Amino acid sequence: MMGKVMTMAQAIGRFVPDGCSVLMGAALESLIPFAAGHEIIRQRRRNLTLIGPISDILFDQLIGAGCASRVIAAWVGNVSAGLAHNYRRAAEANTPHRLDIEDHSNFTLSLALLAGGLGAPFIPTKTLLGTDLLPGSQSFQLSSEPDTGAPLVHVQAITPDVAILQVQRSDREGNAHCWGNLGVSEEGGLASRGVIIVAEEVVSREMILSDPNRVLLPSAKVVAVVHEPWGAHPSPVQGFYGRDHGFYEQYHLASRTSEGFEQWLKGWVLDVEDRTGYLARLPKDRLNQLKPSQRRLAAPVDYGY
Amino acid sequence: MMGKVMTMAQAIGRFVPDGCSVLMGAALESLIPFAAGHEIIRQRRRNLTLIGPISDILFDQLIGAGCASRVIAAWVGNVSAGLAHNYRRAAEANTPHRLDIEDHSNFTLSLALLAGGLGAPFIPTKTLLGTDLLPGSQSFQLSSEPDTGAPLVHVQAITPDVAILQVQRSDREGNAHCWGNLGVSEEGGLASRGVIIVAEEVVSREMILSDPNRVLLPSAKVVAVVHEPWGAHPSPVQGFYGRDHGFYEQYHLASRTSEGFEQWLKGWVLDVEDRTGYLARLPKDRLNQLKPSQRRLAAPVDYGY
Amino acid sequence: MNQKLTYTMQEVMVAVAARQIRDGELVFVGMRLPLLAFAVAKRMHAPRAVGLFECGLMRDEPAPELLYTMSDPPNIAGAIWSTRMINLMGMLQQGAVQLGMIGGAEVDRFGNVNTSYIGSRQRPTVKLPGSGGAADIASLAGRFLIIMQHERRRFKERVDYITSPGFGEGGDWRRHVGLPGRGPAAIITTLGTLSFDPETKEAILASHHPGVTPDEVCRQTAWPLRVSPAVHETAPPTDEELAIIRHCDPDGFWTRP
Amino acid sequence: MNQKLTYTMQEVMVAVAARQIRDGELVFVGMRLPLLAFAVAKRMHAPRAVGLFECGLMRDEPAPELLYTMSDPPNIAGAIWSTRMINLMGMLQQGAVQLGMIGGAEVDRFGNVNTSYIGSRQRPTVKLPGSGGAADIASLAGRFLIIMQHERRRFKERVDYITSPGFGEGGDWRRHVGLPGRGPAAIITTLGTLSFDPETKEAILASHHPGVTPDEVCRQTAWPLRVSPAVHETAPPTDEELAIIRHCDPDGFWTRP
């Protein structure tokens, strides 16, 4: 029996086929699986539906590379630097090609994924009433409270084909520890048909099972475990590395034009074989600068009996 | 300004008035706030609405003592020993007085509390369709999926007045760490207007903030912090003490008759001043026997940057 | 214990239930006998089965000690996930859980289970504890097993109250009322095993336990119990199965009446 | 920076926003200027205010370092809760969050904010990033602040697209459409502060920042902006407020244009 541990190329090759829906960037500005996104670009996936609350610049890269035909998100941009240029070109000028946009807010996207994980058809809310996100959207159904007649929005469940979740550490079965803000990582993983775990460290089963409350989701959901140190760069991973703010700024400037983006893509993704190659292109010492300057250990917890 | 740390008598006196709705036993068979329940009995609270998925024998004691006029629960019994005698007497013979019972399943109760915490009026589900829990219940509304017409149950939100949650450790503001199975502790706390934290240990703010992912819920919800070691006995608290199975059996036998229960109540609750008095009545060495025989420390986690 | 037999009926029930667990399945495990059945299956034929406990736990290894409740400390330590109840219930409703096991005080011809009220709801003769998670398992699990004491007063033509839905009034009742799960696969009793007619969904005696005759089973059933043409004696627990059961429950807390 | 002034307009905005935070309030904090406003309020007059970050964090002390995003490691370490987004959004919908702060690309006469599409939705002139959590804050927070660059092209009679609802078409529109939050309390701009008429819900110039005249504000507004009879100069940031801002943003990443 083949195990779940595999290379990023194998994981993307097997579990992210053309036309599938893929959840990424679930934690928000941290733990963004950039290494996975770059492999999707290298394998020239097409017609993906990208799902994520905000994705910082990851979705912009996938859109610019022509991988996506649809985005279901609350926000697509560059968190520290501004607008997302490829996203703009796609929406404003169908460049590189047409992109369907299904607008959510952060709350409605998390409710949609929560509903997906609960096996519920929808969850009602009062957010977005009166806004232009509602008319004509497939994601929402207008309704009303049976007793009072007060307006309600039914947020329809979302069940992505696959979620790609970056974590600090995992065992070989996909029992994984994750800490820091979780965003929609848990809901998103539970809502998805399969989960690819991208781990900074692959550790022993004993280590993970020593703290079952820290486990993100059931390994039964996990289809692949990819050991990919620095897999989230330039986004941060608590306890492992900080955010590379300059890298976002650099991308922002480079991607202003299609040509600039193509060049950026060539240099950082297409002409690079894998994550090791990518890391080798970073300025000397960059990784060292991003490493924690101080350990901050969680207080001990005793599961003894 | 008076702080949140207070005795159990003060916390129950201030935050569990006659007629209020109170969530207890949220974790299921562990972390049951028996010390709080006993103080409620001593203060002779009346007309409470008890809310909890299963409560092991805690709700049975409160019902037998005449504190409750209504129960919203999925199960009321004695998990290791069988039926709940006071619950039976109340439902079958209005002894000590009439009890309204609102039947839930574990799933619907957790959905009701989830909805409460989300500020959603209800959450739809397919559980319980066709069962006798639905007709005439205020907790459920029959509906159907707009597209397919398939039947749905709308589980109405529950927002208890107060949740009493037992945890391993808390700081003086109610920032609390809890581990082991959580049941509906998080949903229940978030759904409630206020939370009383009962902690085995009151520790420093630094200790709690060293691990914010372990924090159960926001301290803004917490109205009281009670330092009550062994507060959950005879139910277990991971890392602190095991379950006192014999105590449940003993209660089961004692409570077979109203008279037997009265005597049990006198001995263990009414004639006892507080938790210290209760613990003093336990057989010598009982507490030592329940203490962990082995430490099982969670693997270290680094929040450094 | 039957004097001629070297095992108890509870041990037979555990072995029969264990054999219903398939390798790799996600199983909603209750307490008592189902918990032992999970342990037997894991060690015998279903090493990759995973157990879900509604209190908020998942385990891929049975706990190393006897459990009185699913929240006992040995069940938490070494779990592969310790979480909130709703996450496990959500997986159940998603259809990710292939098998669940429930007990009951009363069951009827179509596998409906009552654990709520005997007599009327307003003034019950006996108030039973209620659903717990059983009604959810019966509603939502791929299939489920009912594990019960076989007595005439418990096996009724029609239960007084449906807590956990079986096949309702039979036929395609489940589809009609909108239940996603496929319903009960078997009733495993102290006397035998009942399966369900694929069309009418009526319970049928499939096997009688060693030392029990089909007639005895029928006498302990308050409706005219159909007997399968293929009815046979339940395969008794093997030595290996018994060894596992007795390792898990050395004092017979759950398995020696 | 205005040559006569010893502070920037961004610093004025931060100080004005900070003064809107009351002690003990739960505040949905965004990034950039609101984050600085939270830090100022905490140290000045609202020591018991608590900040919520939609990525899944709550803090009762501002992070000790400048943040570029709310998920930056210094914002996680020392948080009082690190959790799932939905828990914070749930508190927002419960009505537990008294104040939220949002930015915007366009705002209109009734405080509606557009961060989605300039031009048509089908073929926009500019595709903006979208709501993020702003529409939720605008829908659900007790009250909220809009913090924006004041330019005529951004202050429009009617926004092209309502991402974050203000008062819609004015009057009791919010109640009519069913929004629980009370709506925007103020628009804090690079030129002044706008509040809302309690009846008509139209934006009114309440104060103009030091060095800015009411006329200039009106010229940078594409609808005929009403000026409050009580219009006055915005109280400039105090030395203490400035010290806190500059301690938090020493290089002026967010506060020096």
Annotate chain D with three-state secondary structure: CCCCCCCCHHHHHHHHHHHCCCCCCEEECCCCHHHHHHHHHHHHCCCCCEEEECCCEEECCCCCCCCCCCCCHHHHCCCCEECEHHHHHHHHHHCCCCEEEECCCEEECCCCEECCEEECCCCEEEECCCCCCHHHHHHHCCEEEEEECCCCCCEECCCCCCCECCCCCCCCHHHHHCCCCCCEEEEEECCEEEEECCCCCCEEEEEECCCCCHHHHHHCCCCCCEEEEEEEECCCCCHHHHHHHHHHCCCCCCCCC
CB neighbourhood size of C233 (10 A): 14
Q: What is the pLDDT of residues C82-99, one digit of tens each?
A: 999 999 999 999 999 999
Query: Whole-model pTM?
Result: 0.98
Distance CA B281, CA B113 (A): 36
Q: Is residue C219 predicted with pLDDT exceeding 80?
A: yes
Q: Is residue D2 predicted with pLDDT exceeding 80?
A: no
Mean pLDDT of B109-117: 98
Q: Which residues of C25-57 are buried (b: 16+ CB within 10 A; e: fewer)?
A: bbbbbbbbbbbbbbbbbbbbebeebbbbbbbbb
| D96 neighbourhood in chain B, CB within 8 Å | 220
Chains B and C touch (3+ CB pairs under 8 A): yes
Q: Is residue B127 predicted with pLDDT exceeding 50?
A: yes
Q: What is the pLDDT of residues D82-111, one digit of tens each?
A: 999 999 999 999 999 999 999 999 999 999
Q: Is residue D257 predicted with pLDDT exceeding 90?
A: no
The DSSP call for residue C144 is E
CA atoms within 13 A on the CB side of C29: 35
Which chains, if any, share at least 3 CB pairs under 8 A with chain C?
Answer: A, B
- The minimum CA-CA distance between A194 and chain C, rounded to whole Å, is 12
- The minimum CA-CA distance between B134 and chain C, rounded to whole Å, is 10
| C58 neighbourhood in chain A, CB within 8 Å | 218, 220
pLDDT of residue D240: 97
Mean pLDDT of B14-28: 98
**Helix/strand/coil for C251:** coil
Distance CA A80, CA A78 (A): 6
Q: Is B180 on the interface with A (CB under 8 A)?
A: yes
Give the nearest chain B residue to D56 (CA atoms).
B213
pLDDT of residue A147: 84
Q: Which of B101, B110, B102 is nearest to B181 (CA)?
A: B110
Closest CB to D82: pick one of B190, B212, B304. Answer: B212
Do B118 and D86 count as a contact with CB atoms less than 8 A apart? Answer: yes
Check D11, D25, D54, D106 and give the catalytic one. Answer: D54
Give, for C34, the enclosing helix (H) or strand (E).
helix C33-44
Mean pLDDT of D28-49: 94
pLDDT of residue C3: 57
Distance CA A157, CA A140 (A): 9
pLDDT of residue D230: 96
| B145 neighbourhood in chain A, CB within 8 Å | 121
- The minimum CA-CA distance between B187 and chain D, rounded to whole Å, is 9
Give the nearest chain B residue to D83 (CA atoms).
B213
| B150 neighbourhood in chain C, CB within 8 Å | 178
Q: Is residue C105 predicted with pLDDT exceeding 90?
A: yes
Q: How confident is the model at residue D1 (pLDDT cuts 50, 70, 90)?
A: very low
Interface contacts (B, D; CB < 8 Å): 62
Q: What is the pLDDT of residues C38-60, one digit of tens each?
A: 999 999 999 999 999 999 999 99
Q: What is the pLDDT of residues B226-283, one digit of tens each?
A: 999 999 999 999 999 999 999 999 999 999 999 999 999 999 999 999 999 999 999 9
Do A210 and B145 count as a contact with CB atoms less than 8 A apart? Answer: no
Q: Find the Cα–Cα–Cα–Cα dihedral B268, B271, B273, B277, rounded to 10°.
A: -50
Q: Is C26 on the interface with A (CB under 8 A)?
A: yes
Mean predicted lDDT score pLDDT of chain D:
96
**Helix/strand/coil for C16:** helix
Q: Which of A74, A36, A76 is nearest to A57 (CA)?
A: A76
Do C91 and A186 count as a contact with CB atoms less than 8 A apart? Answer: no
Residue by residue, DSSP assigns chain B as: ---SB--HHHHHHHH--TT-EEE--TTSSSS--HHHHHHHHHTT--SEEEEEEE-THHHHHHHHTT-EEEEEEEE-SBTTTB--HHHHHHHHH-SSS--EEEE--HHHHHHHHHHHHHT-SEEEE-TTTTSTTSTT-SSEEEEE-TTT--EEEEEEP---SEEEEEEEEE-TTS-EE--S--BTHHHHHHHSSEEEEEEEEE--HHHHHT-GGGB-S-GGGEEEEEE-TTTTTTS-BTTTB---HHHHHHHHHHTTSHHHHHHHHIIIIIT--SHHHHHHHSPTTHHHHHS-SS--BPPP-B---
pLDDT of residue C1: 45
**A126 close to D178: Cβ distance less than 8 angstroms:** yes
Mean pLDDT of B147-160: 96
pLDDT one digit per residue (tens) for chain A, 305 residues: 569 999 999 999 999 999 999 999 999 999 999 999 999 999 999 999 999 999 899 999 999 999 999 999 999 999 999 899 999 999 999 999 999 999 999 999 999 999 999 999 999 999 999 999 999 999 999 999 888 999 999 999 999 999 999 999 999 999 999 999 999 999 999 999 999 999 999 999 999 999 999 999 999 999 999 999 999 999 999 999 999 999 999 999 999 999 999 999 999 999 999 999 999 999 999 999 999 999 999 999 999 99
pLDDT of residue D3: 57
Give the nearest chain D residue to A108 (CA atoms).
D136
Q: Is A284 on the interface with B (CB under 8 A)?
A: no
| Lowest-confidence pick of B283-287, C39-43, C129-133, D28-32 | D28-32
pLDDT of residue C225: 98
Phi-psi region of A85 (alpha: psi -120 to 50; beta: other; left: phi over 0): alpha
Residues of C annotated as part of the active site? 54
Q: Does the active-site annotation cover D54?
A: yes
